[in-house]
Amino acid sequence: MVIEYFCNRLFVIVKLIIRFVFETIGINSKSFEHEFTSTSSSTAHHADTEGNQYRHGLVIFLVTLVFIIAFGYASFFWRKLTAFCLTNKIKKPSATNRPCHEFSHEEKERIVVVGAGVLGSCIATVLARDDRKVTLIERDLKEPDRIIGELLQPGGCQVLRNLGLDECLVSCEEAQSTTGYIIHDWKTGASVHIPYPKASDNQCKEGKAFRHGKFIMSLREAARKESNIEIIEGTVQALIEDNGVVTGVTYRPKKCDDSQEIRAPLVIIADGGFSKFRKHLHSEQVHVSSHFVGCIMKNCPQVKANHAELVLSNPNPILIYRISDEETRVLVDIRCQTLPKNIKEYLLEETLPYLPEHLAAPFEDGVLNERVRSMPCKFLPPSTARKDGVLMLGDAFNMRHPLTGGGMSVAFNDIYIWRELFKEISDLTNYQQVEEAYSRFQNRRKMTHSFVVNILAQALYELFSANDELCLL
């Protein structure tokens, strides 16, 4: 509730700031629309060029302003949130319960990770390299096929390198470099170039785009190479609880009818956005704001090499990025609870007319001839509630709108924090020590990455999906 209140206040402040800027420079919404869209046929070429520069500069200024205000406001309210939490003394587990089960020496050293997706595979490898014994359980070890989780921002690439897993990007088949965005406005035809920040060598920092399944298989291959990791293909059915403490899981191996138990003092739940364990461990509710509907476009030209594209159409923002040498992913955001019955017809009638010319033909071909799929876009605030013996991480724990592609970056940063915290925990059955580490994890992730990324993801989605001329106004 507190986070939602702060998000709402953020949107109000951004609206007021932008309105103030317009009033300061002496234009209202109607005059701005007229200034932005009209081009007199009698105006000389030189004047038209100056007008385009003015309009493009104004758009860049406004987008930059939103980023600055969002970051500043997020930082301000993070301090307010911290004060609120301290004042109201949010309850944590007492860490006084002890399970009746006595862990064997082998069990006491084990960590069970549920889910071998982006976070599960990565944290299993990182912990194994730090001499932890890890059992990684995944329902299906075949290559997954999803339409999101394909764009890793430069910050996420850097953290993956810091974790020693940059080989997963190198070995990811046909991964594409991205160095920025091109934002298209459907109404005016204007385009704005937003490059990523420059690195120390004065070159743009690079993100990566790839087939989701290819990247997952690279992460799993890194896990398979670790002798400290046991990988089990099976379905985790339940958590084993003993005196209010999770002491392991029951699972059914693939192609086997009998359930088995595995005991460990710590279970990490990383089973993704559709987590079956969230309702028992998480105090917040999942909110579905929209749906991404996507397909593959073959041999689609890029308006600028190595750049993702964002089309601000009416009413749906459209995200485009190349995921292989010949394939480009297109994701159309549809703001509804129930998708249209004939989704291909909807895309051709409601989306195709708003696309830039270089995207129109590949998009039509992709909709007609490729598989069209959908994915709900979810928002889930992180929860302070937890049980001893279990951690929830990744999309099972915290989600934000995927339009800005920040999910995997948050996950890798969370792993980086936990890697340092685990080095300070010698005995995983010391639940008080684990609880103190969890509190430090919550504070560090908010101060370093998650709070700002979560706020920006929701704020920028509201900005880019607004269907009136001044977006937020």
Selected residue with higher pLDDT from 131 and 91: 131
- The one-letter code for the residue type at 323 is I
Residue with tokens 């279990």: 390
| Residue 286: predicted pLDDT | 94
- Least confident span in 82-86, 254-258, 320-324: 82-86
When pLDDT is cut at 50, 70 and 90, the band that residue 441 belongs to is: very high
14-18, 223-227, 249-253, 318-322, range with the lowest pLDDT:
14-18
Contact between 181 and 209 under an 8 Å Cβ cutoff? The reply is no
What CATH class is the domain 107-169+210-285+380-429? alpha beta
User: How far is the C-alpha of 107 from the C-alpha of 263, rounded, in Å?
Assistant: 6
Average pLDDT, the chain: 84
Query: What is the rounded distance in angstroms from the CA atom of residue 314 to the CA atom of residue 295?
Result: 19
Amino acid at 249: V
Of 77-91, 184-198, 419-433, 435-449, the range with the lowest mean pLDDT is 77-91
453: left (phi over 0), alpha (psi -120 to 50) or beta: alpha
Per-residue pLDDT reduced to its tens digit, 373-431? 999 999 999 987 789 999 999 999 999 999 989 999 999 999 999 999 999 999 999 99
Among the ranges given (137-146, 185-194, 339-348), the one the predictor scored with the smallest mean pLDDT: 185-194
- Least confident range from 8-22, 70-84, 363-377: namely 8-22
Q: What is the mean pLDDT of residues 163-180?
A: 94
Calculate mean pLDDT across residues 437-457.
Answer: 91
Percent of the chain with pLDDT over 90: 66
For domain 288-378, give its CATH number from 3.30.70, 1.10.1200, 3.30.457, 3.10.350.
3.30.70
The string of pLDDT tens digits covering residues 53-90 is 445 555 555 555 555 555 555 555 555 555 444 444 33
The rounded distance, in Å, linking the Cα atoms of 137 and 172 is 22
| pTM, to two decimals | 0.81
Of 36-45, 222-231, 305-314, 407-416, the one with minimum mean pLDDT is 36-45
pLDDT over 80 at 18, yes or no: no
Asked if 363 and 293 count as a contact pair (C-beta separation under 8 A), the reply is no
Whether residue 130 has pLDDT greater than 70: yes
Q: What is the structure's pLDDT at 36?
A: 38
More confident call, 267 vs 16: 267
Burial of 188 (0-12, 13-18, 19+ CB in 10 A): middle
- Mean of pLDDT values over 430-453: 93
Residue 367 has pLDDT above 90, yes or no: yes
Report the pLDDT averaged over residues 326-353: 94
Highest mean pLDDT among 38-47, 79-88, 117-126: 117-126
Report, as an integer, the average pLDDT of 169-181. Answer: 93
Residue 94 scores a pLDDT above 90: no
Residue spans of the domains in the chain: they are 2-91, 107-169+210-285+380-429, 288-378
Judge whether residue 199 has pLDDT over 80.
yes
pLDDT at position 222 is: 97
Residue 9 token pair: 């206040």
Alpha carbons within 13 A on the beta-carbon side of 174: 11
Give me the pLDDT at residue 461, please. Answer: 86
Residue 52: its pLDDT value, please?
53
